[in-house]
Structures are given as C-alpha cells and as structure tokens.
Amino acid sequence: MTVLWGLWALRNKAKFENVSLNSQVISGFLFGLIREKAHLLSDHIDGSGSMICSKRNRENGLDDMKSEIKDGYPLQLIGKQDRCDVIRVQVDASWNRNYDAAFGWVAYDWRGCEVMRRQKRIKAESALQAEALGVRDVLIWASSGGFLHLQISSDCLQLINELAGAEKANHLISDLLEEMWGLSSIFHCLCFVFIPRHLNSIAHGLAYQAMRL
C-alpha cells in the first residue's frame, strides 16, 4: 500500500507540479516512504521513541517553505525540523580561473557518525557554480538513498542567500537552482544553512584534494 500511494503521489507531482522524475528520484522516494513507515511501526509497537520527523504536508507542495535567520545568517527550511533522523551534510568547492573545479562533501547521521563522503573534479564557470553543483550532488545522493530528512551546510553565503531567496539568482546557477528546487520537493524535511569556513574544514579538504588529483 505504501508503494502504491507513493506512485500515486509522484504521478500527481509530475502532472500538477511539473516535478522532474527519473528512476533515481522515484526509487529514492519510495525507499524513503517504506523506511519511514517501518520506523513508525517500530515506534508504535515498542514505544522506543525513535527519532522520526513529521512528514511534510504534501498537498502544500513548497508552501511550507520559509526563510529564517539563525546566528545572524540566513536559513532556508522546507517542512518541519522536528526531532528526527536528520542527515547533516557539509559541502564545499574549489575553483580556479581555468574553469577547473571540484567539490567535496561529508554526511553524518543524527548521532554524528559519518555515513558518506564524496569528492569529484568538475568544470565550472565560477566558484558559485561549483558550490551549487556540490549541493545538487548531495540532493541527488540523499533522494536516491531514501534520506528524506536532510540538512545541508555550506560556507558559501551567496549560495545560501540565493537558496533562501534573499538575493536575486545569479545567471550562472539559475538553472541549477530550479533543478535543486525540483529535487527539494521530494524531501519531508530539508534545511540549507550557512556555516563559517573554519567549521567546514573536512569538506574543504576533500574539495582541495580533488583539485590536485
């Protein structure tokens, strides 16, 4: 029943919200539903109080999206950031004027244990575009893996401002922003946060190392 409901929900998103779907997004969405239902059932049976996040109101689409200020920096939040098994990811990128670039990111579960790290060398027209490509890569990974409660941190303030709608979108990443918002509609809870560079050293090191490969 969960799979059937998920297919129906995805069909409605594609038909009425123009959400782009592919095999990775579909399988990730369905896996996430099954994963969440299993957690909820387990919590109901044993009363263990497992950390489950409230699901988004699907009928509202992105209407429950809001911008906030935290510690003086913008924060973009979709859904409700209740007590839940949020995956926290730190992203960074490197770039030079020869259009060589790389991004790196590291993901942690709600206990602080590392679950994934990735680095990739790419081509980009600007440092901002490289940062956006890194964030998009995280969204694709999380959606395909069924991790639907996600917090993404970046030390690129301009990117977070544009994701939060605090700045007009740069033309070099406007298409990427549209794609990221399309992916965002899959998540039950999604938060974009700015963090200072000194708190993003692991992701920065991964990106820097990938540039030198």
List the chain pLDDT tens, one digit each, 213 residues: 778 887 888 788 777 767 777 776 677 667 666 655 554 444 433 333 222 232 333 333 334 444 554 544 545 555 555 546 789 999 999 999 999 999 999 999 888 899 999 999 999 999 999 999 999 999 999 999 889 889 999 999 889 888 876 556 788 898 999 898 888 888 888 888 888 888 899 999 999 999 987
Radius of gyration of the chain (CA): 17
Domains with residue ranges and CATH for the chain: 53-212 (3.30.420.10)
Handedness of CA 151, 84, 13, 21 (dihedral sign): positive
Give the position of tokens 């027209």.
125
**Residue 172 amino acid letter:** L
Cα separation, 137 vs 135, whole angstroms:
5
144-161 pLDDT, tens digit per residue, is 988 988 999 999 988 988
Instruction: Render 97-150 in DSSP notation, one character per residue.
Output: TTSEEEEEEEEE-TTS-EEEEEEEEEE-SSHHHHHHHHHHHHHHHHHHHT--EE
The H-or-E segment that residue 70 falls in is strand 65-70
* Amino acid residing at 34: I
Strand partners, 87: 150
| pTM exceeds 0.75, yes or no | no
Distance between CA 160 and CA 74 in Å, rounded?
7
Instruction: Note whether 26 and 58 are within 8 A (CB).
Output: no
